[in-house]
Structure formats: structure tokens, C-alpha cells
Structure 1
Amino acid sequence: MLLGTMYFLFSWIYWGLLVCIYSAQFSRAAPTHEKERKHTEVVPFINVYERSMCKVRETLVDIYQEYPDEVEYIFKPSCLPLMRCAGCCSDENFECVPTEWYNVTMQILRMKPHMSQLYVEKTFQQHSRCECRQKKEIKGKQENHCEPCTETERRKHLFVQDPQTCKCSCKNTDSRCKTKQLELNERTCRRGKKPRADQAVCSPLFC
């Protein structure tokens, strides 16, 4: 009778332990399924767009990028969280640039290999406002899309160029040297007498 009772108790304990172990494993597996479900979710376009747009956001910046002349030192930490402009613009010819900024001073550890270490204060720039603006190289190409009026540096001052049409014209006019009986050579933008134009030449210094 005593053995039967003990067997009954051990059986209940055994099955109770199995239930506890199963419950614990199930509870650990449930969050995993939840994470898997979240990983398969599709992020809506509006959320993707808002998170990728040009704005001020915390960015890890390498200290050597800000202080390239101090490469002989080791900094701790080696990078800092700074508020910087970053993100995408609607046009690939534009870039996200800061329009307002301010300075912040941070204390970092500066070390020299096999030598002393020191806490130093370094100033870094943080951005407060951003804007999408045309890239400098694109803007420069558009501003200088015209071929020069002349390849000679000495003669560039004789010409005026329309930036819209790229048309070249002479800075001098016929009326400037009319009293000297000189006429304009439209190809060279110089003036001279006919038929020997080399006898008298009118330049901006003399007309």
C-alpha cells in the first residue's frame, strides 16, 4: 500500500515537471514567432519616405574626419554622435546640405602610443536645419557650359559673352574709336585702319 502511494506521488511529480518544462519552452518560443512575424511585415511607403528624407539626424562621425592633422593620436571614443544633415533628395542632382549650424564642445580622451593620455576638449559642428540644394559640381558645369570666346588669355578682356546664349561680342564698339578713323575687326575684337590694320590698333586701354 505504501509503495503504491509513493508511486502515485512520484507519477504526479513527474507529470507536473513535464508540464512545467513544456510551458517554459512554449513561452520562450512565442516571442520568437512574434519576432518572425514582425520581420515579415512590410513597411509602408510613407514611413520609408519620411525616414529617408533630408533632415537633421544623429550621425556617428570619425574624429579624424574633423581633425585630420592629429592622426598621431589615438582618441577614445574614436567617433562621436553628432547631429548632422543626412538623407535623400527628390532629385539626384541635389544633395542634403546644412543651412544652419552651431558648435558643441565635447570632452574626449587623447592618447599617444607608449606615452601619456589626456582628457581634451574638442569643438565640433552640429547642424540645426537642412535643405536640398543643387550639387556644386553640377551647378559649376551649368554656369560654365559656354566655350570661351578666345583661347588666348591676353585677348579675353576684349570679349563679352552672354551666359544664356553663349554668344560672344566685342567689348569695344565702333563709336569708341570712330574719331581715330579706326574700324572694328569682329573676329579679333580689335580695331585698325584699312587696308593695313597693323598700322593702328585700338584696345580698351587707348579707346
Structure 2
Amino acid sequence: MSPLLRRLLLALLLQLAPAQAPISQPDAPGHQKKVVSWIDVYARATCQPREVVVPLNMELVGTVAKQLVPSCVTVQRCGGCCHDDGLECVPTGQHQVRMQILMIRYPSSQLGEMSLEEHSQCECRPKKRESAVKPDSPRPLCPRCPQRRQRPDPRTCRCRCRRRSFLRCQGRGLELNPDTCREMRLSWVLTVLSICLSALVTATGAEGKRKLQIGVKKRVDHCPIKSRKGDVLHMHYTGKLEDGTEFDSSLPQNQPFVFSLGTGQVIKGWDQGLLGMCEGEKRKLVIPSELGYGERGAPPKIPGSGATLVFEVELLKIERRSEL
């Protein structure tokens, strides 16, 4: 029968049904059985969320308990008939409902909260055609779960722990972590280890940051003024990498480098390492990348990846600006 003809017949029945009284046979003298009208029967059978009873041992696979009270609960799930055999009643809206369940693990018991899925909207949709899958090349119907110990539920495609993991923990009297599918005790140990490892890495990283190293190669006896922030310094310098590769120097051209100290004209290692210096004094500065050119470096002469710089400097002259 075509869908159009089926709908026309259904509309005709709906129009005729109220005009006809339901036929009932007498149950006893003076009494008649109560008959549910066809309209009510049809309305109750439509695809809609309805209250069903589900066993908890099938819904809560990852819960370890000797006994759950109650052992089954009522939830709203889609069910009913569709007007065509090619359609099926499927959920289009879901939500999670939290329920308190008494979990008995002898000799103790406690109340726990369980999350169950309920359906809020249902529709009649075409049935999924089952494709012919060869036994030697199975194709999964659900996506793979992110956790190695989880398997998708073939009905809902929700990832759950493998049943053998659940049974193994139950046999040992331990709880199963539904997120990691590991024993609660082992999961707790791994959590503590991860926290300790994170703290160790943080401490190591803090200690691993190198500081500015300042070495005096030549001192002067007479030092009337020392360099400070804002002074204009005349410097000779030679810059090398840690492996001894020279990347810059002012000596070949005999042209001193002139700059203002502490104003950001040079790298931070110079602004910090040249403070309190006397005219004629020589220093050796070992500057970490944090106070030099950073992780990016200054290609091609200074590579990236945190290059440490070594400078040999000589202060030739200090020009102090007059204070207003």
C-alpha cells in the first residue's frame, strides 16, 4: 500500500471513529467492560518518549558493587509505532539525569550518584540499511574510543570500559575508574606520580635557567666614576658563541661602539652586565638567551634555540649627562 493511500485511510478512520460507539460485550449482568477508544489506543502507540524500566547492571557497566538498590530504574526512552514499516522511532533529543543509587559493597554501603540517559524528543525516521560486510574485512559502525581500554557501545556508540576490566576489578574487590578504565588504587598512584613529575619538571626548569655571569679580566686602581643607567659608554667588544665562534667585534675597524646604558639600545645582558664599570676596565660577560636574543636568535650569525653569548668588553670612556 502506498504511503499516500495509507494516510488517506488513516484520515478517514479518524473522522469515523468519534461517530461510532465502541462495541463492548457484557461482563456480567448489568455491568460492561471498560473499552479504550481507538483514538486513545492510536495516541498511546505513537512514537514518543515513554517510561521504561531498565536494569542498572546493563546501564552502569563501570560501577563496581556487590548489589545496587534498586536493581532497576525507570527512565524516559523513545518507543512506539510509525505509520510506515520503513520507519523506526529514534531519539532526536537526549539529556542526562542524575539518580541516587544505594551501592552495597559488603560490609559497607553508601549512596552514590549515577548518570543515565533520557530521551526528550523522538521522531520516525527511515531505518538504516544494513550493509553487507565481509567477515574478513569488518568495518566498525562506531568511531574508535580514545582510551585503549574502552570499547564503544553498539547501541549508543558511547565509550565504555571493557567488561573484562570490570569483572577483574570486581573479583579483586576494587573500584573501576570509568574515565581511565583502571583500578581506582592504581589510578590514584598514577595521579600522584604525575603531580610529582610535574613539580620536578617545574623545579628543574627553574634551576635550568642560566643567570648572567660577570667576570672582571682587568681592574683599574683609579676609578673616579662608575657607569650607571643613562651614561653614554664608549666600548670595544668581541662577541662569541659558546663553542668559540666569533660573530662580531669592534676591534678590526678600531671603531668603538657608543650607546646609552639602561635605555634599551642594547640587549639586557649588556644593560645589566656593564653597570658599575670603570674606564679602562675589562670584563667577560656570559649572557643566557633570556637576556640576549631569545629563542629566535639573530640569524644567520646567532642561531636560534636559545644561544648563549660570550662577550669580552673594554670600557674606554664614560660620558655622564649633566643632571637637571
TM-score bracket, normalised by the shorter chain, equals 0.3 to 0.5
Q: Which has the higher helix share?
A: 1
Structure number with greater Rg is: 2
Structure 2 length-normalised TM: 0.30
Structure 1 length-normalised TM: 0.45
